[in-house]
Amino acid sequence: MTAKITPSKGATYARIIGVGGYRPVRVVPNEVILENIDSSDEWIRSRSGIASRHWAGPEETVAEMSIEAGGKAIADAGISADEIDAVVVATVSHFKQTPAVATEIAHRLGTGRPAAFDISAGCAGFTYGLTLGKGMITDGTAKYVLVIGVERLSDLTDKKDRATAFLFGDGAGAVVLGPSDVPAIGPTVWGSEGDKSGTITQTVPWDAFRVDDVAKLPVDENGAVVFPALTQEGQAVFRWAVYEMARVAQEALDAAGVSAADLDAFIPHQANMRIIDSMIKALKLPEHVAVARDIETTGNTSAASIPLAMERLLATGAAKSGDTALVIGFGAGLVYAATVVTLP
Amino acid sequence: MAATKEEILSGLADIVNEIAGIPTEDVELDKSFTDDLDVDSLSMVEVVVAAEEQFSVKIPDDDVKNLKTVGDAVDYILKAQS
């Protein structure tokens, strides 16, 4: 027989109630990058807007950085760790795939026995996690969800590639989501374009190292073993990010019933300052909108970039609690997700 | 109606002026975008997208790298229009 199943009962709405970030201690200015590539500080700044980035040391692992950021987000939310019902970790640079790093982070934060898992959605990882977390809360499977974006992209950077050596940084950003009486996260406009999967990609798959003979290991022109790195088709990514993603961002605004004039802040994935500037133009954002430009001193930290930029925007006073912000993540996949949120 | 070669050059000059701040009179057929006009690879994408809109043509990413000079772009657009 078909038994009557009691459905879960969730909160009417969800919202971000706390944010926290962790930036590695070591600051790496462009001068250090230039030791390995034939370029200039001026060239790097004009192409990317990046002046410096943080690179993690051996102790600043994906788990450690996540615990720092997650702990701050929980404190900012004003709840205790054991109230967290789910921990979602978005990353592409945790190199031990099993078990998910989310379980260790959840345990060491003292969250008890929450649902915990990792997701892979490149630079859209945070906004994908935000969307999942919102769904858990409104579905009733969780009251509080910790969403973490964390990367050690310095491990996936070809330090000798003049097109990408300066681009990436390390760090972790986290938010706590909780129930809300009023709508505080809009509909997510998200999707993927798998026909462009080669546009941003890891150069070498991990199983290329699983060879029967060390002579078959992937090597560079000097015979040194090549560790996988991130590579991208710059012009194609730029065109997609600026023009396609501006459309997605506009759709997210429309879906939330919020106009550009209603916005207080714009927090796009920090991929490149030129992309951010062009998106502002394409979206016709008014002058009063505070724009996250964390990339200048943080670089592109993929899944960590939006929560890190959100934390800084709030910490510097450029945006304040209760402000309305447009967030959009986009990257390798290609994947994207955009929504409108009330800032914590 | 398709634009003439002169109209395309003039339209392209206006686009390059707006995006890269290059005086329109400097945008001549034999000028290289990168070497002579200092239009970098990302600005080039913006020029291409603006040109696509203005002249109702498609210029795929794979073709953008072949547009070295202003003349290359004008010829490409002229051909793509027909």
Of A47, A233, A239, the CB nearest to B49: A239
Neighbours of A215 (CB within 10 A): 7
Single out the catalytic residue among A123, A222, A272, A288.
A123
Options 3.30.420.40, 3.30.70.270, 3.40.50.720, 3.40.47.10; CATH of A13-180: 3.40.47.10
Q: Which of A42, A235, A275 to probe the B interface (max B CBs under 10 A)? A: A235
Contact check, Cβ <8 Å, A236/B40: no
**Residue in chain B nearest A47 by alpha carbon:** B42
Residue ranges covered by each domain of chain A = 13-180, 189-198+229-342
Q: Distance between CA atoms of A56 and A60, rounded to whole angstroms? A: 5
- Model confidence pLDDT, tens digit, residues B3-33: 888 899 999 999 989 988 888 998 889 989 9
What ipTM does this complex have? Answer: 0.84
What is the 8-class DSSP label of residue A185? B
Q: Which residues of B are identified as catalytic?
A: 40
Asked if domains A13-180 and A189-198+229-342 share a fold, the reply is yes
- For residue A4, what are the CA distances in angstroms to A1, A7, A139? 9, 9, 18
Contact check, Cβ <8 Å, A234/B44: no
| Domains (range + CATH), chain B | 5-81 (1.10.1200.10)
The residue among A315, A306, A293, A317 whose CA lies nearest residue A341 is: A306
Q: CA A26, A304, A13, A10: dihedral to nearest 10 degrees?
A: -100
The stretches of A177-244 forming alpha helices (DSSP H) are 234-239
Of A235, A242, A243, the CB nearest to B41: A235
Q: CA A73, A78, A81, A87: dihedral to nearest 10 degrees?
A: -40
What residues in A contact B45, CB-CB < 8 Å?
A: 235, 238-239, 242
Q: How many CB pairs under 8 A join A and B?
A: 28
Fold of the CATH domain A189-198+229-342 = Peroxisomal Thiolase; Chain A, domain 1 (3.40.47)
Q: What is the pLDDT along chain A (344 residues), one digit of tens a residue?
A: 899 999 999 999 999 999 999 999 999 999 999 999 999 999 999 889 999 999 999 999 999 999 999 999 999 999 999 999 999 999 999 999 999 999 999 999 999 999 999 999 999 999 999 999 999 999 999 999 999 999 999 999 999 888 899 999 999 999 999 999 999 999 999 999 999 999 999 988 898 888 888 888 888 888 888 889 999 988 889 999 988 999 999 999 999 999 999 999 999 999 999 999 989 988 999 999 999 999 999 999 999 999 999 999 999 999 999 999 999 999 999 999 999 999 99
Predicted TM-score (pTM) of the model is: 0.92
